[in-house]
Amino acid sequence: MVQRLFSGLAVLLFILSSCSTKPVSTSIVLEVKSTNYISNEIPLHVDVQLPPKFQKLSEDEIMVTLQSEDGEYKQIPGQILKNENGNTQLWWILPKSNRNNTIKWTATLTKNSDCSIPKFNWIDTKDKHLDLLLNNKKLFRYSYELDDSLKKGETLTARNKVFFHIYDLQGKDVITNGPEEGLWSHHRGIMIGWHDVGFKGKKLSFWGMEDLTVQKHISFNKIIAGPVFAKVEALIHWNDSTGTTVIKEKRQAVIFRQSTPVILLLDFTSTLKANNEPVSLNGNAEHGGVQYRAHSDIAKMVPGTKKPTYYFHKDSIDPHKDYNLPWVGMSYGLRNKTYSVLDMDNPENPNPTIWSAYRDYGRFGAFFSKNLKANESITVRYRFWIGEDSMPNRNILSSKYAAYTNPPQVRVVKP
């Protein structure tokens, strides 16, 4: 699987060899610590100090490739990220963690505007959706279309909330649910919401949006695309039927490149701020939190589908009774293919967390309750690993969770 991630290496080498200008380069030596687990394709980053000749260049003008000291891995794509605080980070995907030894890596930075490593790119269809592509194939959609008017009793199929769609490996069909007519169509892709949101003495639904509430996209704060990851951060207002903003949300998705049959690795982050008034987030595991909903064909059991199977970190888990689970997996059949989703909880998220992970129509996720004071904020984080294949065994799933919560430590040895 690791080798397939870099199947485009031959193309990349051809591009590099055909560059017309002589590159200006520098090297940074890194050290990756050993871990007590073995996992594949782990996003890593480290703060670096760029040499003066690179400091004024944009992120897109700096090409990075990495090579392990033992020579096992070469021409691994890297990505430079310049943060608002002035720090510069180097990102790459570690092909495999090492349980026994600390491994040195050399990152080569090249200034060369004529050459580029194949990377993600975003395409925005204004007021409808923002699509992420890699190698001209869609992977991910930030869907933000909002209906001009909403009617009571017709909210479950209305366009009234922001959510994430996931595409199949071919980039042609979504494997998640949208607002189209179907069973429980208010469950959409990867979404966040609560059925019982307390605000100024009222209970509002930001789940089925029955109260003519909306999650309204306001603006994009960040849109980043590179060879290693892509990021989108948006400002979203949770408004009641009068247009009053109850919650201001910053929702972020970071999508990391992975090898087939993995579609993507997605870090979901949401910061919710009570807007000028106290807000309570309540409901239950069936009607709240961050949830993944498979395509509606699963619920309708059309030919070529298969009901979901759920996976847990140990035997005899009952999500009705066992709380604060580290991760939950779900596999399902769609269009005669098998899809697997691993949803990982972040240890810093609120507890108790209750998981809904048993529905035959393919919706699962983590729920919690929270009371926010006026202008108080809370940030929640989850990681989704999504592939077009059968679910790996439990040890592999646990190692992916370990890599999320305790990634290998990296330090700069020689700037």
Q: What does pTM read for this prediction?
A: 0.93
Residues contacting residue 17 through CB under 8 Å, at least 6 positions apart: none
Structure confidence at residue 118 (pLDDT): 84
Q: What is the mean pLDDT of residues 277-299?
A: 97
Structure confidence at residue 109 (pLDDT): 96
Residues contacting residue 105 through CB under 8 Å, at least 6 positions apart: 29, 30, 31, 32, 66, 67, 68, 69
Structure confidence at residue 337 (pLDDT): 98
Strands (E), 33-87: 40-48, 62-68, 76-82
- Inter-residue contact 142 to 164 (CB < 8 Å): yes
Q: Residues of the chain with pLDDT > 90: what percent?
A: 88
Sequence ranges of the chain with CATH classification 2.70.98: 121-405
pLDDT at 95 over 80: yes
pLDDT at 413 over 60: yes
Residues contacting residue 329 through CB under 8 Å, at least 6 positions apart: 310, 311, 312, 340, 341, 342, 343, 391, 397
Structure confidence at residue 297 (pLDDT): 97
pLDDT at 386 over 70: yes
**In which element (H, E) is residue 385 found?**
strand 377-387
254 φ, ψ (degrees, to nearest 5):
-115, 120
Q: Which class for 148: exposed (0-12), middle (13-18), buried (19 or more C-beta within 10 A)?
A: exposed
Please tell me which residue, 260 or 181, carries the higher pLDDT value.
Answer: 260
pLDDT in tens, 107-121: 999 987 555 578 999
Q: What is the mean pLDDT of residues 221-241?
A: 98
pLDDT in tens, 305-352: 999 999 999 999 999 999 999 999 999 999 999 999 999 999 999 999
Strand, coil or helix: 54:
helix
pLDDT at 94 over 80: yes
Instruction: Tell me which residue has tokens 């040499």.
Output: 51
Strand, coil or helix: 209:
coil
Domain 121-405: give its CATH architecture: Distorted Sandwich (2.70)
pLDDT at 22 over 60: no
**In which element (H, E) is residue 14 found?**
helix 9-17
Structure confidence at residue 17 (pLDDT): 41
Please tell me which residue, 115 or 182, carries the higher pLDDT value.
Answer: 182
Nearest-Å Rg of the Cα atoms of the chain is 22
pLDDT at 27 over 70: yes
Q: What is the mean pLDDT of residues 263-277?
A: 98
pLDDT in tens, 47-72: 999 999 999 999 999 999 999 999 99
Q: In angstroms, rounded to a whole number, what is the distance separating the alpha carbons of residues 277 and 372?
A: 9
Cis peptide bond upstream of 407, omega within 30: no
Sheet holding 24-32, edge to edge: 40-48, 88-96, 76-82, 62-68, 103-111, 24-32, 410-414
Structure confidence at residue 2 as a pLDDT band (50, 70, 90):
very low
Q: In angstroms, rounded to a whole number, what is the distance separating the alpha carbons of residues 332 and 320?
A: 21
- Inter-residue contact 314 to 348 (CB < 8 Å): no
Please tell me which residue, 16 or 287, carries the higher pLDDT value.
Answer: 287
Amino acid at 283: G
Q: Residues of the chain with pLDDT > 70: what percent?
A: 93
- Inter-residue contact 103 to 70 (CB < 8 Å): yes
- Inter-residue contact 189 to 178 (CB < 8 Å): yes
Q: What is the mean pLDDT of the chain?
A: 93
Pairing of strands 129-134, 137-143: antiparallel
- Inter-residue contact 294 to 177 (CB < 8 Å): yes
Residues contacting residue 381 through CB under 8 Å, at least 6 positions apart: 267, 268, 269, 346, 348, 349
- Residue 214: beta bridge partners? 239
Q: What is the mean pLDDT of residues 107-136?
A: 89
Sign of torsion, CA 317 321 327 332?
Answer: positive
